[in-house]
Amino acid sequence: MKPRLLMSLSVLATVGFASCQSGNQKSSTTDTLKSKSVAVVKLAADSFRKEIDGRKTALYTLKNKNGAEAIFTNYGGRLVSLLMPDKNGKMVDVVVGFKSIGDYEKSTEPYFGATIGRFGNRIAKGKFTLEGKTYSLFTNNGQNTLHGGKKGYQYVVWDASQPNANTLVLQYLSKDGDENFPGNLDVKVTYTLTDDNELKMDYEAKTDQTTVVNLTNHAFFNLNGDGSGEILNHEVKIYADEYTPVDSTLIPTGKIEKVKGTPFDFTKATTIGARINDKNQQLTFGKGYDHNYVLNNTKGMGMFHAATVKGDQSGIIMDIYTQEPGLQFYSGNFMQSKNTFKSGAKDDFRTAIAMETQHFPDSPNQPAFPSTVLKPGQVYKTSSIYKFSK
């Protein structure tokens, strides 16, 4: 980890922590979880071959000795599919996504599975000041900038290489002025599928000018399987005693508040749907959960243990570990049934969740938050692990 991350984590140790139709979709699969059928769709490599901005896209498959698979495309550095064994040993695709590059290009939700940058999450009013200079970004989320702006990393074609069956290396040079961010940023993301059923995400970046960086992955998870319906019965435990409340535009107010006694308390395993409809201003602002949790220094895998999620039908457990100070928990509140997943199901309201390891939203404008500034000569380096068990 680079110095700013180490400093951020030590600060956090003292501070404490960054759609309602359910799917009655039919499927021809033989994989059955209770009463619902979950299709494990074999993706066609030809459907992911295309040329975008003069660069070729493709499909990349990682495999481990257990038969688990993680499938990516270099268009947007996207995790397209993640096959993990359920409680009965059958493979379940726990990541929702699409069957072709064309589906990703036309999707009304641009972030499915994508590697996010240059700055994950929101920047207030698309502006920040760095070393005395103010930078104005494209505002693509109301009055704010979200996930890097108009053409974030989800829309670029990454250079990809597969050094072995378990590993994919993605690289991208984000040039000075890209989406109005300063500095040439050389980004490398390494995705590794281990034999312990872990998907490891290693991020690295260097710059030639002072800039801000906050990289993450925006996988949408449904641990019961792509197309299995809503996620409200998933159990969630988040290792955070505090969170960052937001205003009506989902920008942090700057305060860090306790979760105890609020619908945001997931310090004990609780179903997502248990309190999601409570009368609470923060839930109203987010249309559910769309908030950054301040991780509480619980250790695991040599990192912070961020969260544990369990699929109620599949029995699949996902443990998230990270070197990042925050976790954005998003309960699929803006899913609108406008896109068709690879299973054939629509992206209905709350049929997937995102758990994004990150620095806090709007950090460039919030001096009390852990810094996201990267200077020449420094190396941005951070890792997260999504570990699956049953």
**Residues 347 and 341 sit within 8 Å (Cβ to Cβ):** yes
Task: Give the full edge-to-edge strand order of the sheet including 78-85.
Answer: 59-63, 69-73, 78-85, 91-93
Rounded to the nearest 5 degrees, what angle is found at the Cα of 364, between the Cα atoms of 358 and 365? 120
Quote helix, strand, coil % in the chain, to nearest 5: 10, 40, 50
8 A C-beta contact, residue 390 and residue 316: yes
Tokens of 241: 């005693």
Helix (H) or strand (E) run with residue 321 in it: strand 317-322
CA 308 vs. chain centroid, Å, equals 15
Neighbouring-strand partners of residue 51: 56
Nearest to 146 by CA among 121, 177, 129, 112: 121
Q: Which candidate, 254, 203, 210, places its Cα nearest to that of 357? A: 203
Task: Point out the residues that are catalytic.
Answer: 218, 356
In degrees, rounded to 5, the angle at the alpha carbon of residue 353 between the alpha carbons of residues 214 and 320 is: 60
Q: How far apart are CA 295 and CA 304, in angstroms?
A: 7
